Amino acid sequence: MTEYRKIKRVFKSRATLEGAGVHLKRAFGFHEVKMFDPFLLLDDFRSNNPEQYLKGFPWHPHRGIETITYVLKGDVEHGDSMGNKGVINAGDVQWMTAGSGIIHQEMPKGDNAGGMYGFQLWANLPKAHKMMDPRYQEVKSAQFPTVTRQNGTKIKVVAGEIEGVKGPVTDIVITPQYLDVTLPANASFDLPTAKGHKVIAYVIEGKGYFTKEKDLFSYEIEGSDGLMTDTNQIIGNESLILFDDGEGVEVSTAGEPVRFLLFSGKPIGEPIAWYGPIVMNHEGELRTAFEELERGTFVKEHVA
């Protein structure tokens, strides 16, 4: 019998400003880092007002992490210190491994109607890979496979594998699973998960039940009013679910559909020293990184 995961905590995404003044919602990041290992941060940027995103994320450094940008609406221009440049459009994914150090920029442009909608996930790198050569993947929308189940559930496979279908974003250090799941009304979705792996889900449209249990129970919910307890099982848009350990997850809907992103990965379990765009294991490594930025030696020679 499958041991389905229970809800450990629910987080409501919070408004914040990043880059040169981009308005976004942060689902988790920094303060909750130990809870989400091997993931570090998830930002939700969606707006129909270009003034809230056009200033973008001008040239800035990263070291020690991988950043995954997934666009659902609009365009994002990008460039980096390795000479990569281009535009990702609706449905595309940019997966960047910062490794030993990269300087890049991301400039949201929106669509013809001024709409912008996307997400950026940060994944940590273990100590053995912190100083690896940077690398970059750009995957277009048409390259992503979709698994369709008999009940109408659609599962876009960004990374990892489901039912023998593999996502095109590969060669990722922490080998995570990244799914975009759309579940119709009055349906259910279940997925086996590896024991010991961290599993999180972020609701991006509608609402659903993120537990197999149907009896009322309490879980912690963290929002603008601080940490509370709740017994409302149905969870809606811009909410992030952190699951307890188990062998699988089950999500179901009632009278309306739900769409959510699901991430899973094996925790790294190493110390974290984090300041801004640089994530290392120890404070001394952070100091070295910022000293190198000042000296102009931050970006290392790329080994082909």
Please check the confidence at residue 37 and state whether its pLDDT lies above 80: yes
Please check the confidence at residue 304 and state whether its pLDDT lies above 80: no
In a domain, 57, yes or no: yes
In a domain, 2, yes or no: no
In a domain, 272, yes or no: yes
Query: What number is the average pLDDT over the span 70-84?
Result: 92
Q: Position 263: which residue type?
A: F
In a domain, 102, yes or no: yes
In a domain, 276, yes or no: yes
Query: Would you say 179 and 262 are in contact if contact means Cβ atoms under 8 Å apart?
Result: yes
Please check the confidence at residue 226 and state whether its pLDDT lies above 90: no
pLDDT in tens, 243-298: 999 999 999 999 999 999 999 999 999 999 999 999 999 999 999 999 999 999 99
Domain harbouring 15, CATH code = 2.60.120.10
In a domain, 270, yes or no: yes
How many domains does the chain fold into? 1
Residue 165: DSSP 8-state: E
Residue 57 has a pLDDT of: 95
Dist CA 253 CA 237 (whole Å): 13
In a domain, 301, yes or no: no
Domain range for 124? 7-295
Take residue 111 and report the two structure tokens written for it.
Answer: 């669509």
Please check the confidence at residue 222 and state whether its pLDDT lies above 90: no
Q: Which of 30-39, 51-60, 163-172, 209-218 has the highest mean pLDDT?
A: 51-60
pLDDT in tens, 146-198: 999 999 999 999 999 999 999 998 877 888 999 999 999 999 999 999 999 99
Residues 6+ away with beta carbon under 8 Å from 121? 39, 41, 42, 67, 68, 70, 178, 263
Residue 134: DSSP 8-state: P
Residue 224 has a pLDDT of: 47
Which helix (H) or strand (E) segment holds residue 288: the answer is helix 283-295
In a domain, 164, yes or no: yes
Query: What number is the average pLDDT over the span 113-130?
Result: 96
Dist CA 72 CA 43 (whole Å): 14
Residue 212 CA from chain centroid, whole number:
24
pTM of the model: 0.93
